[in-house]
Amino acid sequence: MNAADPDASPTTGGTKTAGRRVEIGKFTEILRRLPHNRPQVVEIHGETGIGKTRLLDELARMAVDHGMELVSGRAGEYERDVPFGMVGEALERLAGVDDDEARTVLDALSPDLAAGLAGGAERYRLYRAVRRVVARFAKPPGLVVLLDDLHWADEASLELVEHLLQDMPRVPLLVAVAYRGHHVPPGLPAALARTRADVTRLAPGPLGAEDVAELLPDASERRRGLLLAASGGNPLYLDALARVDDRTVAALADPGHADPDEMPRRLQALLMTELRSLDAVRRLVAQAAAIAGDPAELDLVTSIADAPEDEVFHALDDLVALGVVHVAGSRFRFRHPLVRAAAYQSAGPAWRINGHRRAEEYLRARGGPLPLRAHHLSRAARRGDDDVITTLVEAATAALDNAPAHAVEWTRTALRLLPERAPRRAEVLLLLARALGLTGRLEESREILHEVLEESGPLRPVAVRFCAVVDRLLGRLDEARALLEAEASGDPAERGRIVVELAATDLLRGDLPGCAAHARTAVATAAGDRGQRAAGTTVLGMAALQGAEIAEAREHLADAVRLVDGLSDTELRDHLHVLPPLAWLELHLEHHADSSRHLGRGLSIARANGQTHVLPYLLIVDSALHARAGRLSQARRRAEDARETSALIGSPETSAMANAVELRSALWQRGPEAALPLAAVRAKSRWWAEEADLFVPVVHLFADRPAQAVEHIAPHVGDDPMDVGGLHAVRWCGSLAVAKAHLGSLDEALDLSEHALVLASALDLPFLRGFAHLARSRVLAECGQLPLSVDEAETAAHRFAEAGAPLYRAMAHDVAAVALSAAGDLQRARVEFGRAKTGYAACEASWLLTRVRNSESRLGARAPRPRRPDAVGTVDALSVREREIARLVADGLTNREIAARLFLSAKTVEAHLARMFTKLGVKSRVGVAQRLSGAESG
């Protein structure tokens, strides 16, 4: 028997690929395309025994003939609770490679997940690491990954495979999967719909008379006809029936017995008959191998059989010779999963339970992987067995981050074994709630937590805080607040942490007074708990920021940074929730380096300690920071990471928050039509809903839909926009001013833009001041006041540079260029267009870059670039406004006096002077006066 072909049979001769010429022809085409960096997916599905495995074997043979690398894995019916079993087997071939990341990945995929946890590889990072490793090893002519019996794959393997299929690297990689047609893995259709790979779907049908003749050339025509009728053309059934006498075959071929649903049961009976025909020792060893796993380790089979070693060895040799099992490296595999199932079921229930117990004892004595021990214990445990319960809980804890679905199964088993009133019950329920949360089943997690809350005990405050976290992830802020409020009067030792959670919840709800009150209580009751004090101080700073109390926010920020930086990673681990709001506060108070530093530290600690529920918040703030810094591609990737992590933990709220921050990069890189759908799903928290709402008018304005922008803004500003307060008032008034100007309401637009300037000046945040000046510039351009529009745009560019916002600086140059073009100053317009294009290109703002190029072309600003402009170094290089300022400088006026005379701010005058020095090639006000005097005397 061919060891590479588990479906092969000693009773059928001929060609094992009979009847599969169409499928093999498609394999030829696929392998021909593969070396050209065209990733491929082959999906094979069909009924039991139709030949899916044989097709994979043939694909493997063809790939090897083409010089391609080959890895393969097969799921087992009885190992669905062993995490990453199928994928781990497939990637075993990488064990000896000289690649640190590959070794780390293999450690994380091994049955014992301890190495994966030590590396902090939570699921989505592990999946991406697997993708990178696979991509590196997919060198021409190609890498072929074969995954058989996907319908039996463990949840961790399925999730990883789906992730790989959705994001196939552009390398010569072929992934072929096979599964039973009526057992489609849940996420597979969606993954295949989204993959960039070419997908080939194969559904092999039954064999025909010619195929049976090719397979059984020595059988009579009558017997072949009976076999075809009885088997329905199914190769596996044909193989099994080929061992049966003519009378039995004829009875099975009788049309009166032609129920297709009955055939699998008959086949199982035939396989049982085959196994019962074995002598006692061979049957015992086959049953032990079925318990040991697929493939089965020799020593483990011997231990489970509980028979002399030489008898087990001889029996295995005989089973190989009889075609029941075949050799797979140093292990043994059944020729088909149905044969293994028959062997497993042929053993009595009591013997199976003891067999699993012997397997666990063998693994425990040799330090075997904890998940494999848990797999066997879950089938052999007795109620009230403390050692078994402890092992299951330990396995569940180890599996939490990389394979939480298995942690759920083992924890549920431990709960079934615990007595109803066991002291450990609340502890195990909390573990189950956490595992359910990590699998994305937040509603179930919440139900379990409420079961813990029904009884008072030392773990109740922990359950309350955890339940509040789950409620926030689900967007149930009012319920979270009510639960926390009820607990706040409880255990004084826990009150501080409870009020911190209350403050954070009130912040999300938009209740700034309540947030500040609870945050002050948290700080006052912190005593020696620096983490609690840091959390309370940070939330106080956030409340002050949202309320536009910038000086107070800065004071709280300084205190919070001092406290957080004084915490060790171990101390900060218990207060990690402080870092996302701290980094957000730093971003908006324009401490970008500190924001980046704290986010990096938070991501490292969260990943190392399995705090997946904090990850979306950290990634969302990191995305916003990258967007502000003009790193749009990184911002988009961080938002995608946040959304992916949100999906893994089942949080629609953080997914909507990720959409809110991605709006900016989506607009700048792909345009309004790509951005607007992201705003369709709103966060339930008032804070994050407003974050998205703030940017939607900008999208409408860039789509030339000012009426929709006004309509969107109206509910946020009420009847009198001048009465709007808080941090966002500048942006609401600025956006509304631009929209009104586009609609022809120029007086109202001028008033609103002036009000935005006043608000921004009071806040003294360079970014918001730049935003207000840019809005004013656009309004002035609509009013036809082009020189003033250019001045405002130049001031905006200066402010954005001060704020570390390069994309918005480029936008200010863009607006200035359009105004200059409209004024006929094509030379200066060309310079401003060039600055805008350089800025957009550096930020990878592809949609804006295309747009500015179109504007430049349309407005005729593509004047030839003179090699040595005559105006350089002369007064002719100055704008009208700059000449006006130069004359006042020559008259001896100070910056403040010039600002008062021209109704400008002193900062704007300073910005003009800086540009004038550059244009005139001078270093002082005296030089400006001399150049002006020389020009006028000449």
**Confidence band, pLDDT 50/70/90 cuts, at residue 5:** very low
Closest CA to 889 of 928, 918, 923, 916: 928
User: Which residue stretches of 329-403 are H helix?
Assistant: 337-346, 349-365, 370-377, 386-399
Looking at this protein, which amino acid is placed at residue 121? A
What pLDDT, in 10s, does the model give residues 27-37?
999 999 999 88
Beta bridge partners of 146: 72, 176
At residue 682, the 3 state secondary structure works out as coil
Contact 339, 324 (CB under 8 A): yes
* Residue 284, pLDDT above cutoff 70: yes
- The predicted structure's pLDDT at residue 903: 67
Q: Can you tell me which residue has the tokens 């407003």?
A: 690
What tokens appear for 471 in the block? 């409620």
- What does the alpha-carbon distance between residue 387 and residue 369 come to, in Å, rounded to a whole number? 16
List, as one string, the DSSP characters of 583-596. HHHHHHTT-HHHHH
**Confidence band, pLDDT 50/70/90 cuts, at residue 877:** confident
- What does the alpha-carbon distance between residue 733 and residue 722 come to, in Å, rounded to a whole number? 8
Closest CA to 222 of 237, 236, 209: 209
- The predicted structure's pLDDT at residue 8: 35
- What does the alpha-carbon distance between residue 681 and residue 692 come to, in Å, rounded to a whole number? 10
Preceding omega of 369 cis (within 30 degrees of 0) = no
Contact 574, 605 (CB under 8 A): no
**Confidence band, pLDDT 50/70/90 cuts, at residue 10:** very low
- The DSSP element (H or E) to which 509 belongs, if any, is helix 492-509
Largest CA distance in the chain: 123
Contact 45, 178 (CB under 8 A): yes
- The predicted structure's pLDDT at residue 866: 41
- The predicted structure's pLDDT at residue 859: 66
Per the prediction, the chain carries an average pLDDT of 88
pLDDT-wise least confident of 92-101, 117-126, 168-177, 445-454: 117-126
Residues 453-471, mean pLDDT to the nearest whole number: 88
- What does the alpha-carbon distance between residue 319 and residue 300 come to, in Å, rounded to a whole number? 17
- The predicted structure's pLDDT at residue 230: 84
**Confidence band, pLDDT 50/70/90 cuts, at residue 861:** very low
The residues near 266 (Cβ < 8 Å, ≥ 6 apart) are: 252
- What does the alpha-carbon distance between residue 319 and residue 315 come to, in Å, rounded to a whole number? 6
pLDDT-wise least confident of 550-554, 579-583, 733-737, 860-864: 860-864
Contact 639, 667 (CB under 8 A): no
- What does the alpha-carbon distance between residue 851 and residue 845 come to, in Å, rounded to a whole number? 10
What pLDDT, in 10s, does the model give residues 878-928?
777 788 888 888 888 888 888 777 767 777 788 778 778 877 878 788 888
Q: Which backbone phi and psi does 489 adopt, to 5 degrees?
A: -90, 10
- What does the alpha-carbon distance between residue 931 and residue 236 come to, in Å, rounded to a whole number? 97
413 backbone φψ class: left, alpha, beta (φ>0; ψ -120 to 50): alpha
- What does the alpha-carbon distance between residue 400 and residue 612 come to, in Å, rounded to a whole number? 10
Q: Which domains does the chain have, with CATH numbers?
A: 21-202 (3.40.50.300), 274-380 (1.10.10.10), 704-799 (1.25.40), 805-865 (no CATH), 875-937 (1.10.10.10)
- The predicted structure's pLDDT at residue 837: 95
pTM over 0.85: no
User: Which residue stretches of 110-207 are H helix?
Assistant: 114-118, 123-137, 155-166, 188-194
- The DSSP element (H or E) to which 145 belongs, if any, is strand 143-148
What pLDDT, in 10s, does the model give residues 616-639?
999 999 999 999 999 999 999 999
Looking at this protein, which amino acid is placed at residue 585? L
**Confidence band, pLDDT 50/70/90 cuts, at residue 549:** very high
- The predicted structure's pLDDT at residue 865: 44
* Residue 385, pLDDT above cutoff 80: yes
What tokens appear for 280 in the block? 């006692």
